[in-house]
Chains A and B, each alone.
Chain A
Amino acid sequence: MKKHILILLTGISLLSCNSKSEETNSTGIEPKTKVETVQIKGSETVLPLTQKAVEEFANVDSQLKLIVTGGGSGVGIAALLNNTTDIAQTSRAIKFGEKQKIEEGGNTVKEIIVAYDALAIIVHPENKVSNLTREQLEDIFTGKITNWKEVGGEDLKIVPYARETSSGTYEFFKESVLLNKNYLSGIMSMPANGAIIQSIKQTKGAIAYVGLAYLNKDVKAVHVSYDGGKTFIEPSFANAKNKTYPVVRPLFYYYLGNSESKVKPFIDFLLSPTGQEIVDEVGYVDLR
């Protein structure tokens, strides 16, 4: 019996020794290469851009270790509030209440626009309608126009799809196209861009919006007019870049004023010409 206890005790002491030696090891290494970690959290829309940029950034600067996670714009800002992330990536501007909460704690929030994302209005490929004005879109998504006949199409019920109520894309579309009016109550909503494309492809009367990068030949993108029907602009990267296409939204990075020195190298990298090339590669519109 005593033997057992002895073995147990030595085991425990060995274990504790091990952990101790590890500790000394890690502290021994630290002064030589001081690696700082930066957490980036937030929007799923910005996520692919950040991931790509972080990969490229690792080749330039090895002093800064970046950890990127998604979760949504709201999650990113909540994490910034709780100090569990250094940068919040969002596809919507910070809300007044959120900003106030951070400033109550004596901090300041810094906002950087890192890229632009154009939204395309999409319909079923067999739909004859290919031009819509902002006013028509507003009426469709608020439920005043319910048949394609009313906007020059065939006699078919309009089925509008939106993104989830809390997504940044949903908010932006509401502000820009619906001029802050609410969507029709009981609008169909889909959790992701991929699911939206799938639904539009399957539903003849459907209409929805997705990021330009998600466009494919399964759906038809509608030309949009913001000047009451004088000019209809095709959603394309070229048109988004020369600012003729109207449905374009900024993508943001938010960070706290006191962590500026820590996050600056990465943000500077993303804003540099190399960084902005990554923006193009990923399928967003760069700042130039």
Chain B
Amino acid sequence: MFRKLSNRFIKQLLTFSGAVTGIAILFISFFLFKEGAGLFKTSTIEKGYVLIVHSANPVGKLSSHQIKEIFDTEITNWKAVGGKNQEIRIFRIDDIFNEYSKTEIGENYEHLSEKLAEVIQKNEGIIAFLPHQYAPINSPSVKELPAGNISVSDYFLGKEYLPTATPAPLFGVLPLLFGTLLVSIMAIALALPLGLGVAIYISELADERIRKFLKPVIELLAGIPSVVYGFFGLVVLAPIVQKTFHLSVGETAFTGSIILAIMALPTIISVAEDAMRNTPRAMREASLALGATQWQTIYKVVIPYAKSGISAAVVLGMGRAIGETMAVLMVTGNAAVIPTSIFNSVRTIPATIAAELGEAPAGEAHYQALFLLGCILFLITMVISVAAEMISKKKNFKPV
């Protein structure tokens, strides 16, 4: 009676823990997407601020990119953004203190708004970036530039990633996406031949004693914290890459992918080796009995049999490379530009999230943009693991 009861209890406990895990995962992904999607409901201009021009200014709307160029003084004439031929004057709230004394503005800024209105009235070419509460919106000579919401195409097709630019941050995701893909694909290209070689050696050629030593050692590699890999990459590998290829900087996509390749190796080796060792003994013996050499047996029998396992190893290794954070953060230089060569510095999605989430103001555009990056990463890794699942289930080698 008790055994039955405890059996049922354990069964329920297991079901319960399964349900809890499932709900937790669903909850986390829901949270991720909810926070991320919030970005497209956020205004392009920093929260609590408005952009103001003179009412005689014909310019009605500016894109985030134009705003950035104006405030970086790259655009200095209104003509460039469709206005009159007129010099642009940039005005920030702090500039008011250079024009009026503290007493004129008032102890608690009670006259700040009218003084701002005066300044704007005097300068037709002005563009002012002001806190909403002090902006003289009701004044007749003042026009507020309407701030739209951050658009989906600006996010997904934008080529500039400047999340803390004021007044209008830019969240172009393309440099990060290309950076991530470049580094991880290159990492797999480096790790795959090496990993397969080692897997073949361990499973087919090495004698039992060497195998028993080598396999745990390789699996141990997976246990080294990624910061250690990152630091090794920064201190040892980056200078080597810099000297060998005569580069001005050592922190490049190439350096990052070498480190990632090293980190993906244990996964690839151990999954591929397991798959190869699962080849039935009878098949090997049959092949050898037909007079095939050991090498012929390996590449005509073992590898085709283990094909699905090997593909799964590749995909899992790729997943490891794409999601890796700390090591890449330290060795790739983190420059947010679309890479044109493997010796460019790149910035990857996980590294960006890790580096910025700690300091991003909670709930604001930057924070939401990082969550959206998380969504993109989530989708990429999900596609990869679904692919791994499908590949490892497929058995395209029919036993005779």
Contact = CB atoms under 8 A, between A and B. Distances in A.
B256 interface: no
Contacts of A206: 249
A203 B250 contact: yes
Nearest to A156: B248
A74 to B, nearest CB: 4
Nearest to B159: A185
Given A96-B131, A166-B360, A188-B334, A203 B92 contact: no
Given A5-B2, A188-B335, A74 B248 contact: no
Given A164-B355, A191-B330, A202-B239, A97 B160 contact: no
**Chain A residues touching B, range:** 35 or more
Contact of A95 (B333, B336, B361): B361
A199 B234 contact: yes
Nearest to B332: A188
A75 B359 contact: yes
A137 interface: no
A76 B68 CA distance: 28
Given A72-B359, A188-B251, 5 more contacts: A96-B47, A97-B48, A164-B334, A174-B164, A186-B175
B238 A77 contact: no
B1 A203 contact: no
A264 interface: no
B355 A191 contact: yes
Interface string A242-258: 00000000000000000
B68 A182 contact: yes
Contacts of B48: 96-97, 100
B23 interface: no
A195 interface: yes
A74 B166 contact: no
A252 B23 CA distance: 41
Contacts of A187: 335
Contacts of B162: 165, 182, 185
13 contacts: A4-B2, A75-B358, A77-B361, A78-B362, A165-B162, A165-B355, A166-B356, A166-B366, A181-B73, A185-B336, A191-B355, A199-B234, A203-B248
A159 interface: yes
Interface residues of B, number: 49
A189 B328 CA distance: 12
Nearest to B175: A186
A43 B393 CA distance: 49
Contacts of B238: 199, 202
B47 A97 contact: yes
B335 A164 contact: no
A56 B166 CA distance: 40
B326 to A, nearest CB: 9
Contacts of B336: 185-186
A173 to B, nearest CB: 12
A71 interface: yes
B148 interface: no
A185 B334 CA distance: 11
Contact of B359 (A100, A167, A185, A204): A167
Nearest to B330: A195
B2 A168 contact: no
A157 B334 contact: no
Interface of A: 1, 4-5, 71-75, 77-78, 81-82, 95-98, 100-101, 142, 156-157, 159, 164-168, 170-171, 174, 180-182, 185-191, 195, 198-199, 202-206
Contacts of A186: 175, 335-337, 345
Interface in B353-393: 354-356, 358-364, 366
Interface in B164-180: 164-166, 175
A98 B364 CA distance: 9
List the 9 shortest-distance A-B pairs measured between CB atoms, nearest first.
A186-B337, A166-B359, A72-B358, A78-B362, A74-B359, A97-B47, A72-B359, A1-B2, A186-B335
B358 A188 contact: no
Given A181-B73, A188-B345, A164 B359 contact: yes
A26 to B, nearest CB: 30
Contacts of A205: 248
Contacts of A199: 234, 238, 249, 251
B208 interface: no
Contacts of B356: 164-166
B359 A188 contact: no
A189 B331 CA distance: 10
Nearest to A174: B164
B49 interface: yes
B166 A180 contact: yes
Contacts of B2: 1, 4-5
In this complex, which of A157, A181, A188 has the most chain B Cβ atoms within 10 angstroms of its Cβ?
A188
B329 interface: yes
Interface in B241-278: 242, 248-251
B342 to A, nearest CB: 16
Given A97-B46, A97-B48, A202-B250, A181 B358 contact: no
A159 B249 CA distance: 8
